[in-house]
Chains A and B, each alone.
Chain A
Amino acid sequence: MSFIDNIMAGFSLVANLESFLALFVGITIGTVAGAIPGLSATMAVALTLPFTFSMTPITGILLLLGVYKGGIFGGSIPAILIKTPGTPASSATILDGYPLAEKGQAGKALGMALWASCTADLISNLALILFAGWLASFALNFGPPEFFTLILFSLTIIAGVSGESLLRGALSAMFGLLLATVGLDLIYGTQRFTFENPNMMGGLNFIAVLIGLFAIPEIIGMVWNPKADEGKSRALGNNWVTFQEYRNSFRSIVRGSFIGVFLGSIPGIGAAPSAFLSYSEARRKSKNKENFGKGELEGVAAAEAGNNGVAGATLIPLLALGVPGDVITAIILGAFMVHGLQPGPMMFLINADIIYGLFIGLIVSSVFLFFIGSIAIRGFKYVADIPRSILFPSVMVLCVYGVFAVNNNLFDVGVMFVMGWIGFFMIQYKIPAAPFLIAFILGPLLEDNFRQSMLMSGSSASILFRGPITWFFWLLTSITVFTIARAGIKTRQNDS
Chain B
Amino acid sequence: MSDKLIQLRLGIGAICLAAFLLLIAIPFWVTSPSNVPNIILSPIFWPNTLAIITALTGIGLVLSGLSLFSVKAPKSFNSEKNTRAFFRLSILGFIMGITILVMPSLGLVWTMMLVFSSSAFLVGTTYTKTAIICSIVLPLILYLFFAHVAGVAIPQGDYVRLP
Chain B's closest residue to A168 (CB) is B10
Residues of A within 8 A of B43 (CB): 185, 187-188, 190, 192
- Residue from B29, B91, B93, B135 with most neighbouring chain A CB atoms (10 Å): B29
Given known A-B contacts A171-B14, A223-B122, A396-B116, A390 and B134 have beta carbons under 8 A apart: yes
List which A193-239 residues lie within 8 A (CB) of chain B: 193-195, 219-220, 222-226
Q: Is the CB of B108 within 8 A of A417?
A: no
List which A397-433 residues lie within 8 A (CB) of chain B: 397-398, 400-401, 404-405, 408, 410, 413-414, 417, 420-421, 429-431
Given known A-B contacts A397-B112, A401-B108, A404-B108, A389 and B6 have beta carbons under 8 A apart: no
Q: Is the CB of B138 within 8 A of A459?
A: no
Query: Any chain B CB within 8 A of the CB of A468?
Result: no
Chain B's closest residue to A388 (CB) is B123
Q: Is the CB of B123 within 8 A of A400?
A: no
The distance from the CB of B85 to the nearest CB of chain A, in whole angstroms, is 5
- Residue from A178, A193, A219, A414 with most neighbouring chain B CB atoms (10 Å): A178
Q: Is the CB of B41 within 8 A of A459?
A: yes
Q: Is the CB of B100 within 8 A of A410?
A: yes
Distance A191 CA – B122 CA, assembled complex (angstroms): 41
Given known A-B contacts A188-B36, A190-B32, A417 and B10 have beta carbons under 8 A apart: no
Distance A413 CA – B154 CA, assembled complex (angstroms): 13
Chain B's closest residue to A407 (CB) is B152
Distance A54 CA – B50 CA, assembled complex (angstroms): 50
Distance A167 CA – B63 CA, assembled complex (angstroms): 11
Residues of A within 8 A of B88 (CB): 223-224, 226
Query: Any chain B CB within 8 A of the CB of A451?
Result: yes
Can you list, as one digit per residue, whether each of A368-392 has a CB less than 8 Å from chain B (1) or not (0)?
0000000000000000000111101
- Residue from B33, B40, B135 with most neighbouring chain A CB atoms (10 Å): B40
List which B88-117 residues lie within 8 A (CB) of chain A: 88-89, 91-93, 96, 99-100, 103-104, 108, 112, 115-117
Query: Any chain A CB within 8 A of the CB of B162?
Result: no
Residues of B within 8 A of A393 (CB): 115-117, 119-120, 123, 131, 134-135
Q: Is the CB of A192 within 8 A of B120?
A: no
Q: Is the CB of A398 within 8 A of B142?
A: yes
Q: Is the CB of A195 within 8 A of B29?
A: yes
The distance from the CB of B141 to the nearest CB of chain A, in whole angstroms, is 10
Q: What is the interface size of chain B, counting residues whose CB is below 8 A from a CB of the partner?
A: 69
Q: Is the CB of A174 within 8 A of B6?
A: no
**Contact among B9, B100, B125, B155 for A429, CB-based, below 8 A:** B9
Query: Any chain B CB within 8 A of the CB of A25?
Result: no
Residues of A within 8 A of B60 (CB): 167, 170
Query: Any chain B CB within 8 A of the CB of A181?
Result: yes
Distance A420 CA – B117 CA, assembled complex (angstroms): 20
Distance A421 CA – B100 CA, assembled complex (angstroms): 15
Distance A447 CA – B55 CA, assembled complex (angstroms): 19
Given known A-B contacts A168-B61, A174-B50, A181-B46, A394 and B134 have beta carbons under 8 A apart: yes
Given known A-B contacts A220-B92, A389-B131, A188 and B32 have beta carbons under 8 A apart: yes
Chain A's closest residue to B112 (CB) is A397
Q: Is the CB of A170 within 8 A of B50?
A: no
Q: Is the CB of A219 within 8 A of B119?
A: yes
List which B75-94 residues lie within 8 A (CB) of chain A: 77, 85, 88-89, 91-93
**Contact among A188, A226, A398, A421 for B93, CB-based, below 8 A:** A421
The distance from the CB of A152 to the nearest CB of chain B, in whole angstroms, is 13
Distance A331 CA – B39 CA, assembled complex (angstroms): 38
Q: Is the CB of A193 within 8 A of B30?
A: yes
List which B1-54 residues lie within 8 A (CB) of chain A: 3, 6-7, 9-10, 14, 21, 25, 29-33, 36-38, 40-41, 43, 46-47, 50-51, 53-54
Chain A's closest residue to B36 (CB) is A188
A-B contact pairs, 23 of them (CB 8 A): A167-B64, A168-B10, A171-B58, A177-B50, A178-B47, A178-B50, A191-B29, A192-B43, A220-B89, A224-B85, A387-B127, A388-B123, A389-B127, A392-B123, A393-B131, A394-B116, A396-B115, A397-B115, A398-B142, A400-B108, A405-B150, A430-B6, A459-B38
Q: Which 7 A-B pairs have the closest CB atoms?
A: A389-B125, A185-B43, A190-B31, A226-B123, A459-B38, A393-B119, A417-B96
Beyond A413-B100, A429-B6, A454-B38, 8 extra complex contacts between A and B, CB < 8 Å: A168-B61, A171-B58, A181-B47, A188-B33, A389-B127, A404-B108, A404-B152, A429-B9
